[in-house]
Amino acid sequence: MSDNDLLSFVASVSGDAFLKVEENLGDGFVRLKVSEAERRQAKHDIRGVEDIVVELLRNSRDAHAQRIFIAAGREGDVRTLTVLDDGVGIPVALHERIFEPRVTSKLETMVMDRWGVHGRGMALFSIRQNALSAHVVSGDAHKGASISVSVDTTVLPEKADQSTWPTLERDDSGALRVARGPHNIVRRVMEFALEHTEMDIFFGSPTEVLATMVTLARFELDEIDLLRTSELTRLPVWQRPGAAADAEELTETAEDIGLPISERTAHRILAGDVVPLRTLYAVATKAAPATSDAQAPDIYRDRRGLKIHSADLDAFAADLEKAFDALAERYYIHLRTAPRITVGRDDIRVRFEVDKED
């Protein structure tokens, strides 16, 4: 008899309560098993849909994302949230493991912010315990990630008014802050955006988010990237819609990253009929302008300064590979693949994947 069969037999005889208890202390007191204590804590951590939004945003921030896209939709009582980012990504082998309790990438550090402690390895576990479903739709190391969550709002509530945007004002130092408004999803996202003005954060419907990704990615991808449409998975998750060759491929790509649309909607996006989103900071700046006549930054800000042609990157990689030879000879290692070069908004990152010689 397997362990699962044994547990099922014990549960059928003694009831589910037996499986939750590590020790019966008498007089009605018990010591819960760690798994049951964690499950109860997770249920307590998330009180509403808005809490899920904050936890997903914090995850992206702690993954060093510079762009975060939040797509929200609702059908009947089911709220769907998909958060995509350009952070360090999640290896495919860990797509399920990250939803287990106490699994975290922050062994040496944790973050204390206005929402409490983050880094205990409980956020994604808590989300899954409270949601109908929660899973990594797409992502890999150094390619960002897309996480989708569906919630039954009759079980886990959300604020009744989800259409009203918060009212903003400037404090004595001139910084923007939320002054009032319902504590709904968009308010939570706006509060997060104003706390982290160094990041570009976009919020809208799946269609609006896709249109924004297409616009930004096509601005950044060069001709070589756009021709390699058969190799979309080599691109960061958020850039893949911009490399789609036609409406059919955009529809398939959107499905693959957790933003399903119809082919008709894909045609509208490629035709430019769907207006791309502005960053929430740009939206906030327009809503509460400074006393000066400074214009709000657009979604292309700071990106023209670091655009490198693929031919130059290939030549740079070849030079790096030659330079690596001296190190390889001294330490008995060799390159597994060519150096991987990632061009960010403000940096160029190089990654060497190596194997040790026997």
pLDDT of 152 reads 98
pLDDT band at 7 (very low <50, low <70, confident <90, very high): very low
Predicted local confidence at residue 32, as pLDDT: 52
Per-residue pLDDT tens over the stretch 126-175 = 899 899 999 999 999 999 999 999 999 999 999 999 999 999 998 888 88
Residue 94 makes CB contacts below 8 A (sequence gap 6+) with 103
Q: How confident is the model at residue 294 (pLDDT cuts 50, 70, 90)?
A: very low
What is the sign, positive or negative, of the torsion defined by CA atoms of 218, 223, 225, 230? positive
Residues 6+ apart with CB under 8 A from 46: 52, 55, 126, 127, 129, 130, 156
What's the token pair of residue 205? 């419907």
Q: What is the pLDDT of residues 163-186, one digit of tens each?
A: 999 999 988 888 899 999 999 999
Which range among 73-82, 101-110, 225-234, 277-286 has the greatest average pLDDT? 73-82
For tokens 């990654």, the residue is 351
Find the distance separating the first CA and the last CA of the chain, reported in whole Å.
43
Measured CA to CA, the distance from residue 223 to residue 214 in angstroms comes to 14
State the burial class of residue 229 (Cβ atoms within 10 Å of its Cβ: 0-12, 13-18, 19+).
middle
The pLDDT tens digits of the residues spanning 43-64 come to 557 899 999 999 999 999 988 9
- Is it the case that residue 112 has pLDDT exceeding 80? no
Please state, rounded to an integer, the average pLDDT across all residues of the chain. Answer: 81
- Residues with Cβ within 8 Å of 306's Cβ and at least 6 positions away in sequence, in order, are 343, 344, 345, 346, 347, 348
8 Å CB contact between 87 and 196:
no
- Domains of the chain plus CATH, in order, are 14-45 (no CATH), 46-287 (3.30.565), 310-356 (no CATH)
